[in-house]
Chains A and B, each alone.
Chain A
Amino acid sequence: MADGAPPPGPGGPEPVGQASAVRPFLLTAGRVADCSDGRSLPLEAQVVATAEGIDALGRLAFERHDIVAVCRLPQSVAEIAARLRLHLNVVRVLAEDLRAAGQLTVHVPDSGVVQDASVLRRVIEGLRAIPDARGVRSDSD
């Protein structure tokens, strides 16, 4: 029951190990994610590489390269941070840079989603379809 230390699965992501010796602000040239007014990218915001981003991969270095490369398929900000072992706020800053450069698109969910009954119903239906360990669906009992 060790929160924070998931067992590494076969082929799965490894748990976060030792923190990088490189301080986060070095990766962002001293800039920080602007959290003060709630405008920072939500953890679940979806990030996708653009065609320009893929084309630019050869010219991008280090973290920027890795972020665009991992976003060939849509990824949440949190997934990017975890997969690349980067600080969340570093990903936020760099993703904004890459978006501004046209190399990523960032899709921030509308805050109204929380109140959207049709979306909630779809999630509920999707969850109900998940079989439990005995192969019984929750809506069949």
Chain B
Amino acid sequence: MTATETAVGAAAARPAAVRPPLPVKLVIAGGFGVGKTTAVGAISEIEPLTTEAAITEVAAGVDDLTHTPLKTTTTVAMDFGCLTIDPTLKLYLFGTPGQERFGFMWDDLVEGAVGALVIVDTRRLDDCFAAVDYFEHKGIPFAVAANAFDGRVEHTLDEVRWALDVAEGVPLVVFDARDTGSVRDALLVVLELALARTRG
């Protein structure tokens, strides 16, 4: 994404009547059924929207696919919501399908994201390995949030950190994906981390 707003907008015949807000993107990742949609819905000002993002099963790492991105054998649902910070700034939350084979789509979703929240179900920790690896590899600020199903988690945070083998600098929190304040605080952890990165 090298194009700037001016470079892209300049081709239009006239400026739009309405000045759109600056979109800021945050990614919500994690395995299937871990609570991504619930978390997005708990804080989004709109009902989470779903769009079909379609790729082939053999997508990841196959060069040919880049020439035929509409060729479809697998359709995955990507959920997202948004939050208007002020008329000039809007936060978008994209819930990514967590499975490893959707790596190709992650690049599409994650490009330009300020950070990510990886949601884990402590009963199924291995579901989030792919997401943790991905964000570590990409150097994107991320935090891990253990969703407290029924108000509790199966393992302590120390156990989760050990099991996931995430770096000490990666924040680990327990949250409730259904609770607005809880989701807000988890997102704040990610944003504070992203802000700390800007200070070098």
Binding site for B on A (CB under 8 A): 1-9, 12-13, 15-16, 19, 24-25, 28, 32-33, 35-36, 38-40, 42-52, 72-74, 76, 78-79, 81-83, 87-90, 99-100, 102, 104-111, 113-117, 119-128, 130-134, 136, 138
In the bound assembly, the distance between CA atoms of A50 and B83 in angstroms comes to 24
List of B residues within 8 angstroms of A72 by Cβ = 18
A138's partner among B32, B52, B86, B185 (CB-CB below 8 A) is B185
CB distance from B40 to the nearest CB of A (A): 9
A-B residue pairs in contact (CB < 8 Å), sample of 5: A35-B66, A90-B70, A104-B16, A127-B188, A133-B180
List of B residues within 8 angstroms of A114 by Cβ = 112-114, 194
CB distance from A4 to the nearest CB of B (A): 3
Contact status A130-B49, CB under 8 Å: no
CB distance from B32 to the nearest CB of A (A): 6
List of A residues within 8 angstroms of B79 by Cβ = 3-4, 6
CB-nearest residue of chain A to B72: A24
B5's partner among A25, A89, A108 (CB-CB below 8 A) is A108
CB distance from A137 to the nearest CB of B (A): 9
List of A residues within 8 angstroms of B32 by Cβ = 3
Report if B165 contacts A (CB, 8 A). no
List of B residues within 8 angstroms of A136 by Cβ = 181
List of B residues within 8 angstroms of A134 by Cβ = 181
CB distance from B38 to the nearest CB of A (A): 6
Supposing A9-B47, A110-B4, A111-B1 touch, asked if A48 and B24 sit within 8 A by C-beta, the answer is: no
Contact status A106-B92, CB under 8 Å: no
Contact status A19-B180, CB under 8 Å: no
List of A residues within 8 angstroms of B23 by Cβ = 44-46, 76, 109
In the bound assembly, the distance between CA atoms of A79 and B91 in angstroms comes to 13
**Could you say which of B6-14, B129-137, B154-162 contacts chain A?**
B6-14
Contact status A19-B75, CB under 8 Å: yes
Q: What are the 6 A-B residue pairs with the smallest beta carbon separation, nearest first? A: A132-B181, A4-B77, A102-B13, A126-B85, A74-B20, A46-B20
Contact status B14-A113, CB under 8 Å: no
List of A residues within 8 angstroms of B15 by Cβ = 50, 105
Contact status A120-B191, CB under 8 Å: yes
Supposing A12-B46, A25-B70 touch, asked if A106 and B52 sit within 8 A by C-beta, the answer is: no
List of B residues within 8 angstroms of A45 by Cβ = 23
Apart from A24-B72, A123-B91, what are 11 other A-B pairs with CB-CB below 8 Å? A13-B49, A42-B1, A43-B108, A49-B16, A50-B15, A74-B20, A78-B92, A89-B69, A89-B70, A105-B15, A120-B198
